[in-house]
Amino acid sequence: MPKIIRTISALRELLANNNSVALVPTMGALHAGHISLVEYARTKANTVVVSIFVNPTQFGVGEDFDKYPKTENEDIEKLRGKADIVFIPSVTEIYPEGYATTVSVSGNITQVLCGKSRPTHFNGVATVVSKLLMIAMPNVAIFGEKDYQQLLIIKRVVADLNIPVDVIGCPIVREKDGLALSSRNRYLNDSERTTAPMIYKTLCEIKDGLPIDEAKQKLTKAGFKIDYLEIRDNKTLEILEKPTNSARIFIATYLGNCRLIDNISSKI
Ligand code: AMP
């Protein structure tokens, strides 16, 4: 069984003088996508730490913080034989009384896509990830391309703040029908779950030449409420007219009450 650690001091003590640590930050409700990151972490370091922390500062007003799935026992079970340490701090351990600092990332990469629809989200992410990196001081930190914009922002923060860690992105794990695994997929009812694979299918069609406007019409007709569907440069997130070899196609859409995001490389 992995060691369950709930305080910063205990984690620091356990990792003191350890020069081969990989950290996989998560919000729990673990699925095969998370586990793929943990397995990759194992190839990169001797000690694998998974953090489980539903970070309140990255949820906006009216978002699903209160009902975000919490499945701690199942998560620990899934990490058996895969992680060495599971770090599960409380909210007050991370944000004690008097806490007053935010890591704020400016520029295009934080202002477009999810940064536009969720204006406080990425400062919350940048803050908590900076803290987790400072707490665990890992050699490598592993993130999923599922949250591609988040990955770019974390790379920016680590470079800008000179945090000595190697940030690595891993590919998106999907269901057989193409739906990207997400802790939020459990919010989908049966009929929404049947419709949801259209997201990935449509991204692939755009890559193959389907115009964005037509793709939007098709998805809207099927019941999606699109937040954004855009082609952007895979490093700067500048908007592009057409898929290119250095672009990604990004989508965020509501299906019922569930907000789903996905993206694919448009490299041929
Ligand atoms: P979350 O628990 O949703 O904050 O995700 C924790 C980490 O798992 C993030 O780096 C995500 O990008 C990554 N992740 C979530 N879903 C997937 C997926 N389907 N495939 C690969 N990585 C994922």
Note the pLDDT of residue 268. 81
Residue-wise burial string across 131-148, b where 16 or more C-beta atoms lie within 10 A, e elsewhere:
bbbebbbbbbbbbbbbbb
Nearest protein CA to atom 13 of ligand 1, as residue: 144
Ligand 1: atom nearest CA of 37 is: 22
Q: How far apart are CA 11 and CA 23, in angstroms?
A: 12
Q: Is 34 a catalytic residue?
A: yes
Number of residues that make up the chain: 268
- Segments of 27-175 assigned E as strands: 47-52, 85-87, 140-144, 166-170
Ligand 1: atom nearest CA of 143 is: 10
* Cα–ligand 1 centroid distance for 147 (angstroms): 7
Distances (CA, A) of 42 to 11, 46, 143, 226: 18, 7, 14, 37
- The tokens for 11 are 């984690």
Note the pLDDT of residue 229. 98
Note the pLDDT of residue 84. 98
DSSP 150-166: HHHHHHHHHHHTT---E
* Residue 87: partners with Cβ closer than 8 Å, 6 or more residues away: 5, 6, 11, 49, 50, 51, 52, 53, 132, 135, 136
Question: What is the residue-level pLDDT of the chain in tens, covering all 268 positions?
Answer: 999 999 999 999 999 999 999 999 999 999 999 999 999 999 999 999 999 999 999 999 999 999 999 999 999 999 999 999 999 999 999 999 999 999 999 999 999 999 999 999 999 999 999 999 999 999 999 999 999 999 999 999 999 999 999 999 999 999 999 999 999 999 999 999 999 999 999 999 999 999 999 999 999 999 999 999 999 999 999 999 999 999 999 999 999 999 999 999 999 8
Q: How far apart are CA 167 and CA 47, in angstroms?
A: 16
Note the pLDDT of residue 97. 98
* Cα–ligand 1 centroid distance for 33 (angstroms): 6
Note the pLDDT of residue 21. 98
Distances (CA, A) of 148 to 125, 181, 233: 13, 14, 12
Note the pLDDT of residue 95. 98
- The helix/strand/coil state of 39 is helix
Candidates 5, 27, 34, 196; catalytic one: 34
76 lines ligand 1 (CB under 6 A): no
3-state SS, 221-259, equals HCCCEEEEEEEEECCCCCECCCCCCCEEEEEEEEECCEE
Residue with tokens 């930190």: 141
Q: How far apart are CA 134 and CA 126, in angstroms?
A: 12
Cα of first residue to Cα of last residue in the chain, in angstroms, is 43
pTM: 0.98
* Cα–ligand 1 centroid distance for 34 (angstroms): 5
